[in-house]
Amino acid sequence: MAAYSPSAPLKPMQFQRRSLGPKDVAIQVHYCGVCHSDIHTARGDWGQIQYPQIVGHELAGEVVAVGSSVSRFRVGSRVGVGTMVNSCRHCSECEAGRENYCLNGNTQTYGSKDRDGSITQGGYSTFVVVDEDFVINIPDVIDLAEAGPLLCAGITVYSPLRHWSVSSGKKVAIIGLGGLGHMAVKFAKVMGAEVTVFTTSPEKIDDAKRFGATNVVVNKDGADFSGFKHAFDFALDTVPY
């Protein structure tokens, strides 16, 4: 399903994925999350794009074929693909395992110039072909439909929580309880933190507590935050305002 213009609904598009290279994995996409970045990209909010464009970078599915040198996957493996599908592999960032910071520009799952010059097409598609280094295994205990959103929304909040060593006994504030915030609450909780959620939506109080928050603060314009001075070891803001 591709975007053909900034405003029209998505429509079907027929196209051919590249044939398998030695390190490529062909994946049948069973589920793909809808990230707000998909909507921004399809609408051209972040600059002009080349239409038609297929978006989607929270893919979960099953391997249907592997290239001759693929070692980490076999036909039938349950796998996921996130926001990027390649990088230069030889700059200092790539060599340090930080391909997302590739100095030559990483290759995004969609709307990005691939190493062969074509524009990448994303996960709202039946199949995808990806180098095995950018494919992850999904454990059997995680439902594929639930795994999809972990590949962008999930990692976006998991990464800072890990980077800043959120752990047992820490007091953590999560600001916003949307697509990202609700996952942040769950991660922080299982990392052992005491979680406080800030939200402008009173109707989200029950959800926040169900996800693991100890405290929920409903804040509206003009709310008094003085009682929270030095209250937290770490605050994660998922609200883009």
Chain contacts with Zn ion (rule: CB under 5 A): 35, 37, 87-88, 91, 94, 102, 104, 152
b/e per residue 187-199 (b: at least 16 CB within 10 A): bbbebebbbbbbb
Strand partners, 168: none
Nearer to Zn ion, 153 or 172 (CB): 153
Q: Is the bond preceding 160 in cis, omega lying within 30 degrees of 0?
A: no
Residue 24 near residue 91, CB atoms below 8 Å: no
- Taking the complex as a whole, the smallest distance from the CB of residue 12 to Zn ion amounts, in Å, to 23
Nearer to Zn ion, 102 or 135 (CB): 102
- Taking the complex as a whole, the smallest distance from the CB of residue 37 to Zn ion amounts, in Å, to 4
- Taking the complex as a whole, the smallest distance from the CB of residue 80 to Zn ion amounts, in Å, to 13
Nearer to Zn ion, 32 or 138 (CB): 32
Nearer to Zn ion, 102 or 130 (CB): 102
Handedness of CA 141, 34, 127, 26 (dihedral sign): negative
Nearer to Zn ion, 94 or 157 (CB): 94
- Taking the complex as a whole, the smallest distance from the CB of residue 15 to Zn ion amounts, in Å, to 22
What DSSP string runs through 61-110?
Answer: EEEEEE-TT--S--TT-EEEE-SEEE--S-SHHHHTT-GGG-TT--EESS
CA dihedral in degrees (75, 73, 86, 45; nearest 10)? 60
Nearer to Zn ion, 104 or 137 (CB): 104
- Taking the complex as a whole, the smallest distance from the CB of residue 30 to Zn ion amounts, in Å, to 18
Residue 108 near residue 120, CB atoms below 8 Å: yes
Compute the chain's Rg from CA coordinates.
Answer: 20
Amino acid at 140: D
- Taking the complex as a whole, the smallest distance from the CB of residue 152 to Zn ion amounts, in Å, to 3
